[in-house]
Chains A and B, each alone.
Chain A
Amino acid sequence: MDRSLLNTHAKLVARDIHCLTQSPTEPNSFSLVGGSAFVSHVETVGTIVSRDLTPKFLKFDVDDGTGCVTCILWLNQLSSSYFSRWDPATILLLTRAARKQAAKIRIGAVARVRGRVGSYRGVMQITATVVVVERDPNAEILHWLECLRLRPSYRIQS
């Protein structure tokens, strides 16, 4: 098992993300199609096609032309027990950062999403850590080309 990519945000297109298979031994690791490399974090770029805001999170779909990936951006830092021992000022800072990102996520915008990949009810989804709305329309094309360029590194078999 090649773990060299585990902490890297693998640049993948939606189709490849959906083809990830969960590692039988490590639930947070996913192997790429036909390869021996495992990833846990991914980066994708696409157009936001749906947006569903709940008090705890924002769910949105990113379509990059090869498929659509569901992304979750958590907004529950203030109430989550995960942060209960954190410094309140830091929690507030993280909350503000998340909400600021959430405000920018609008349908039609091109966004670069980085986050942890996971499987929810059998479908791959990204728990976003950073969402950057791209202003340059070439960003999407660049992402495709980067994905193509990096495929050999990920040992993805076409």
Chain B
Amino acid sequence: MENVTILTIKELVNKGRAVTGASSLFSSAASHSYSESSSKNPNSRPASFDSDLSCKFLAPLNHPAVIVGTIALPSKTLICPNRYCFRFSDGDLTICCDILRFEIRAIGSKICVLSWNFLPMKHCGGFLEIIKWKFVDTVNLLSRCSGIGSFPLFPSLFPLRNDDRKSRYSVHGVLESISPVSVVSCMDGESSDSVNLPGFLVHVMACECKTYSQNAIGCSHAFEKSVFVYFCGLVVTSWHPAIRKLVGRDVALSGLKKKMIYVRGDSLLVFVTTESSVLHPPCLSRKQLVAKTVVDRRGNCGSYLGFVKGVYLKGKLVEMDEDVWLLLTDQLLNRSHSIRTGSLIFIRNVHFVNTKFSWGEVLILGACFKTSITVEFFSPFETSCLVDSCRQTSLNRFMESLSFPARFWTLLVRSCFQKFNEIPSDKEILRSCQKDELTKMYAESQIPSFMFQPRGGIFTEFCMHESCGCNSEAHDCNLNLVMPISSFVQHYKVMLNELLSQINKNSSANNCLSHSSSTWKRDNHTNTKTLGSDDIGVILLGKLKISSSGRLQLHDRTSSIDVLTPDLLSDRNAHRIFEVSDYNLIMEGLPESMLHMPFLHNSLRCRNVVNPTPLAIENTLTVRFSLSLGTGSCKQVYGHHSLDWRHDLNEFKGGMFHLFRVTHKFPMLKKGHPGMPDCTSVFVEAIVLPLELICSVTEEDAAAPYFGEHDTSQEIRPHKRCKTNNGLQRERALSVPHEISCQMTIRCASSHCLVSAATLSNLKEKKSGNMLSAKRVLLEFIPECSNYYQALQIGGCYLMKHGTNDSFCAGRSGISNNDKISFRPETRLWSVEFSFDEDLTHDGSVDVYPLVSSQPSLVEKQHVSNPQPCSDVSLLLPYDAKGLFSIFLKNLEELNKPFAAGKNNNNISCCTHLETIMQAEPSQAPPSNSLFPEGNLASFRGDVVTVDAVTSSVIDVSSSYCINVLVNHHIVKIFGPLRRHSYLTGFGPGASATFYRILGTGEENRFVLTSASFVKINSRKASDGRQLEKPAHQAALCLPKVTPQEDVPCMLAGPACNSFSGNKDQQIKSACKVLSVYLLVLQTRSDDPSENECRNNFDIPLAGFVVDDGSSIYLCWTSGERAFTILRLHEELPEEDIDVAQWTRRDSSRETSAYHLEQIVRVHKRIVMKCNGSQIDILFRDITVAVTSDQLLTKSEDTFLKWLILNAITGPIWELAASSMDRKMIEHLEREQCVEMETSRLNLQNVWGDEVCQVDPLVRAWSLLQGLLKS
């Protein structure tokens, strides 16, 4: 002790560092404390702290140091937000403190702190955790202990009035529980003013003996009588932290008076402290240690001992053990600073609520007014202290009225809303809808009424705890978990990884791994598994945005996920938070082995919700996640109604609107694709209707909006008289009347409607008021407006406010056909739908009231346009306008549809000029020598059955995919370069899609996707991947598939070449080997970084192989998966072949050649390798490798590419299905890939490899034998 430094509080506070110190360095008190904990919770795993929490230990002082000072009860001189903390003062400075092994006599005594933790705090300088201490003045101590052993609750400067007869009662027993400090408003006897008197209640199980004597403590008393003592007054309340430390121990109080109080109509005897009250603590030697049983339960209440694993949401939520959560939601509860991550706490009288949520089971420890928490051991980690905010928000009040499971759920929601940090940049929403408000509003809408519980106040709940319903919580809870997106995705990533490791374990045990090249598929995006939200039980909250790559995403601060939605409100407020509850989670790119495995049902961890730090999992899988939303499932979390509403009405008030219909969207193509220009704009083809909508929403409408719960609740307001044109009937049937009155229903995002009168007018088009005045225009969307582009739907009608600066009017006198119009970012659009009412007809009379007569609920609505369940504006038109609008609103999904349901549907009957405008493509192309593909355009809707990676060339378009679509129970094949289309989130088997403007090939049921084709995904069905077992798919994916019944043509040799040239369309099959790789084009598949993370991200758009079938040599061109197979890229990289030091295996799962090649391609973006020799001995003599990156190919990369060729040559015999290639196709490929194929150099026959798979010797031998026997 000689070298021990005495530290002052000032030194510690000035340093401002969290430190731990002790009088002796060789007996670290903190670590000692941990090893001491003999009776700790078997479920709690302190050893797992390091790995789970990665907390930093408190920095120890490098020299022995003690602190000398005085412990004092809380007072107003030290303002601490937690209000009732012990104070520690060394004479110079006072800070908050907590103390282990507390004794009452320490209060006011000078103590020497032997081991301690100091944590800096903003509010009061710092916080001292006293672990070991001793009295400095032992002489005085002895006199204190022997002499008195009793402590007056009032300081002695107040004169003791022992003669007061009223305060003669004493209580002695075991201190069961203590309430938090509450304030009671009462009348001051002297001044008759109302004063707020703080106080707290304690519950003592007392002995019934009348008198108390010092010596009686611990004697044969029967502590059976339940007694409540009220500590009343400012001075006495300061004893709260000291009395809290005595819970569970026996105490005696004397000098009390009796009071009868009335709680819920029942009278209750309570002892109240007086100025002469004295506390008699247990004597030091007879101290009773609390039995540290983990779970000590009486009824629903009990005690719990465990380590704190995390403190969240300002201490309201404390994570104890796995799926054990302590709720400290009541504002009155005193939260000690020392409840820190890593501390061992003992919770008494806490409610055990074992709750089954839809996502898993959680043990909730609900703290009520009887609960007291003592810290048994301080945390050795440098974790922050809990500081109570003392702020009583409406959310807090709301939470206090809930049952514990509902409180827990609300806290989880609150932590999710925390993920929207940057909400209020929008002026209207920010002020009122803060996170707490949003949480409250959202929770109110979700929590069923039975989960609310009435509160009775502190006296009722403390004194009549059992009967006040405090412990009657509902234990099953149907609330869905609200999760941050990153945690949600992370959960499924972890699950898939576990599943994969399980599969790997099984397969290695069974040794049933088949040939890797036959099981791996490049296009494993077809390996999709879908999980419905009902099975998942999770709600996601997020904002919708369009990513830079043109994908619609739901995002919060943690992450984002691709979204596929059939309807999107044209609501462009990017700050609105949406709730997604009805969805399918699509996991694309699963290994095939996983498809048939039942998914593990890992319960979702709440920890991931409140603390979404991604676990460091080994990312062996490259799965892409996306959500397919159901119709109308994307609900806005309540914003501020009146503000939204007023804003919308102001937009409509007396405004004129252009009306246009989207007839086609030109797809957003991937940038940087070879052969494609980098186009930054996207285009939409639209028909501008010759009508303008004049809205009659008035100030009165705007002033008194109606907030309906549902969309159906509409408000009928008296309408102005709308004139119809007198000469209407004299117009020809298809001409446009000058005015059509209609009823307009405006639907706002905050789900309420306003019905108003409106007029469709063609006043501007008076002179040419017929159909011809509908104009076809091309709307150009610059990248800033791409979210508008995304929201527009083909077939949908939209309103655009008329003004001098709107896109249609700015800088032009009028719109002409085929105008290219730049869409202006400030323009606002509303989607509009039309319905026709049979009751409303124009009879030509003057001053009719066409719309007031019918109630909207009675109206039979007939949607003519593309069904848009969520349109912003709905127009109810007279029935006789239907004929007129049916031309405008012609179904765009049924153009040249194969297998049309009706007989005459193949050709659209109503052939008008408008239609010619809309189609604008030749319906029957005359034979020509054009370089471009020709054929009829078609649009239809169907269900995608399979997406096969079959490369074939269909009318000059080399296609890497064949989409089999079920249309009217028939399969239609659509070929095309699918990968170019960057918007196809969620596309794959199970998707219901509409294909717009795809090219008919002339062959029956064969179509081609062109760069102008648009694919809209309408919905996705939950699928379990069973469709993959279909033979069509299997064939396409290069699995061995030759059946013994299949005859192999015998006459392939030699004349095979002739057969190619002679018969153009004949596909031949041969067994051949690779002699050389003639040309190889490798490139990154996408420039989208989000894709790069999760996909095998390179492609072989073209590869030429010199192959030999024993009778002839030919040049076989192919691409994609077939090239991968022939190059054996999915096989393991053999170590001995090349010096693999530079291709070190960082990860055992990444040992395929494909993986290493991907690293090279990623660097160089595009590699073109040409090899001129056809035989191995001259193979590498003339080899050229060109890369598009600025970097040179390193030696090792060059060697690896050459090794690839060698590896292909030493491969097995392949069964190849090939078709001949003509000059035209070769030229087309050259153009597309921007390479010179130099097919003439080797003077070999060129073929296109459609399918390739490894020869099964037995199957082929059988076939050959049968062929030979026949001949």
Contact = CB atoms under 8 A, between A and B. Distances in A.
Given A97-B1206, A153-B1054, 10 more contacts: A10-B1110, A43-B1073, A93-B1199, A94-B1180, A114-B1073, A130-B1209, A145-B1268, A149-B1053, A152-B1053, A153-B1053
Given A90-B1180, A149-B1053, A136 B1210 contact: no
B1268 A148 contact: yes
Contacts of A114: 1073
Interface string B1255-1271: 10110110011011000
A78 interface: no
B1113 interface: yes
B1050 interface: yes
Interface string A1-41: 00011011111000000000000000000000000000001
Nearest to B1264: A145
Given A89-B1198, A142-B1257, A150 B1110 contact: yes
Interface of B: 1050, 1053-1055, 1071, 1073, 1075, 1108, 1110-1113, 1134, 1136-1139, 1174-1177, 1180-1181, 1195, 1198-1199, 1202-1203, 1206, 1209-1212, 1255, 1257-1258, 1260-1261, 1264-1265, 1267-1268
Contacts of A94: 1180, 1206
A96 interface: yes
A101 interface: yes
A39 B89 CA distance: 104
A90 B1179 CA distance: 10
Contacts of A139: 1257
B133 to A, nearest CB: 73
Contacts of A153: 1053-1055, 1111
Contacts of A149: 1050, 1053, 1264, 1267-1268
Given A86-B1180, A130-B1210, A5 B1258 contact: no
A43 B1209 CA distance: 14
30 contacts: A5-B1054, A5-B1111, A8-B1110, A8-B1112, A9-B1073, A10-B1110, A43-B1110, A89-B1199, A90-B1199, A92-B1199, A93-B1138, A97-B1137, A114-B1073, A129-B1176, A129-B1177, A132-B1210, A132-B1211, A136-B1258, A141-B1257, A141-B1261, A142-B1257, A142-B1260, A142-B1261, A145-B1268, A149-B1053, A149-B1267, A150-B1110, A152-B1053, A154-B1053, A154-B1111
A132 B1202 CA distance: 19
Nearest 7 CB-CB pairs, A to B? A153-B1053, A138-B1257, A145-B1264, A11-B1110, A142-B1257, A142-B1261, A129-B1176
A91 to B, nearest CB: 9
Nearest to A12: B1110
A56 interface: no
Contacts of A134: 1257
B1211 to A, nearest CB: 8
A145 B1175 contact: no
A96 B1177 CA distance: 14
B1110 A146 contact: yes
Contacts of A92: 1139, 1199
Interface string A71-93: 00000000000000011011011
Contact of B1113 (A7, A96, A145): A7
Interface string A48-59: 000000000000
Interface residues of A, number: 38
B1096 to A, nearest CB: 25
A74 B1203 CA distance: 18
Residue of A41, A150, A152, A153 with most chain B CB atoms under a 10 A cut-off: A153
Interface of B is mostly: mixed
B1110 A9 contact: yes
A101 B1202 CA distance: 17
Contacts of B1211: 132
A10 B1111 CA distance: 7
B1199 A4 contact: no
Nearest to A89: B1199
A144 to B, nearest CB: 9
Contacts of A43: 1073, 1110
A86 B395 CA distance: 78
Contacts of B1203: 93, 97
A98 to B, nearest CB: 10
A141 B1108 CA distance: 19
A123 to B, nearest CB: 22
A101 B1255 CA distance: 21
A150 B1210 contact: no
Contacts of B1075: 9
Given A93-B1199, A136-B1257, A100 B1137 contact: yes
Nearest to A41: B1175
Contact of B1136 (A86, A89, A96, A130): A96
Nearest to A40: B1175
B1195 A146 contact: no
Contacts of B1181: 86
Contacts of A136: 1257-1258
Given A96-B1136, A149-B1050, A7 B1257 contact: no
Contacts of B1138: 93, 96
Interface in A114-158: 114, 129-130, 132, 134, 136, 138-139, 141-142, 145-146, 148-150, 152-154
Contacts of B1198: 89
Contact of B1054 (A4, A7, A9, A146): A4
A7 B1242 CA distance: 11
A146 to B, nearest CB: 6
A96 B1265 contact: no
B1113 A8 contact: yes
Given A141-B1261, A145-B1264, A146-B1264, A7 B1199 contact: no
Nearest to B1199: A89
Nearest to A2: B1054
A150 B1180 contact: no
Nearest to B1075: A9
B35 to A, nearest CB: 58
Nearest to B1207: A97
Contacts of A154: 1053, 1111
A87 B1202 CA distance: 12
A39 to B, nearest CB: 11
A149 B872 CA distance: 72
A94 B1206 CA distance: 8
A145 B1267 CA distance: 10
Contacts of B1260: 142
B511 to A, nearest CB: 15
Contact of A150 (B1053, B1113, B1176): B1053
Nearest to A82: B1177
A13 B337 CA distance: 89
Nearest to B1260: A142
A136 B1260 CA distance: 12
Residue of A94, A101, A134 with most chain B CB atoms under a 10 A cut-off: A94
A132 B1110 CA distance: 16
A4 B1073 CA distance: 18
Given A7-B1113, A142-B1260, A153-B1111, A89 B1195 contact: yes
Contacts of B1055: 153
B1110 A130 contact: no
A132 B1111 CA distance: 20
A69 to B, nearest CB: 17
A9 B1257 contact: no
B222 to A, nearest CB: 87
Contacts of B1050: 149
A154 B1113 CA distance: 14
A71 B684 CA distance: 68
Contact of B1175 (A89, A129, A138): A129
Contacts of B1134: 100
A150 B1111 contact: yes
A86 to B, nearest CB: 7
Contacts of A138: 1257-1258, 1261
